[in-house]
Chains A and B, each alone.
Chain A
Amino acid sequence: MSDLQQLYQQVILDHAKQRYGNRPLLGGTGIDRSPQFGSSHQVNPTCGDEITVEAEIDPGTGALTVRWDGQGCSISMASASVLTEIAEDTGPEGFAAAEAAFHTLMHSRGQGEADEDVLGDAAAFQGVSKFPARIKCALLSWMALKDALAQAHAAGGDHA
């Protein structure tokens, strides 16, 4: 497989088209939402790409709902889709573990081994780490969800 094919694996191209979690945001709509709510807006200044990610934790069940909206390249859009799947399937703790592994993988300069048990479809992003200019694209939504979750947890603490 060429570097380019490794970068644009089919699973990434699929997520870039069928964007899981890319739905209307709650912020500012006045729609009822959990008190454990956080929203983070991140911008990639080199290309102007941007994403807003919302994290909402159900105070009863602890279930995490992720909503995001943004515009960007296939890598950034696919990454947001993948992380929504991981975060909603595994909850805040699973996301935290995946986030740490994903961060390490992205900074591995193509040398990292992706742990599919932790990363799921995000393992397909291994090829991105060979392209330093694209790492920020892959990480943008992860930074946003990490930030949004921190806000949701802090808000939950206030209401506890």
Chain B
Amino acid sequence: MLNVIFLTLITSLAATILFNAAPRVHNPQSTLRLTALYLANEQFAQLESLAAAGEPLQTNFLGKPEDLITENAGKGKPTEFKVTTEVSGSNPYEVTVTVTLKEGGGNFEVKAKRTIWVAE
């Protein structure tokens, strides 16, 4: 009887500890999301600059190419982003910048929208 009680207690203690540990497994997703969000803002800044000068909006990545690669997920483990820009509507344009991982991204995606008016 005592053995059963002890075994139950120890098992429940172990289960509690392991359940507590499960959500704390290292997850670089939040760091990558933060990096990707600022990358999208970099593209928006470039597009706004074009718009202010009255030039047509471009869909290729206009920021610094080295910003597409980050080691924030782990030192020595470079992650490469892919930036896609979609321009829709007429002036003012609705611009959607989507940042995904170039390889093995799974469901990783950061999407940002901004309305940009091109000076005439």
Q: Indicate whether A and B interact.
A: no
Which residues of A line the B interface, CB within 8 A?
none
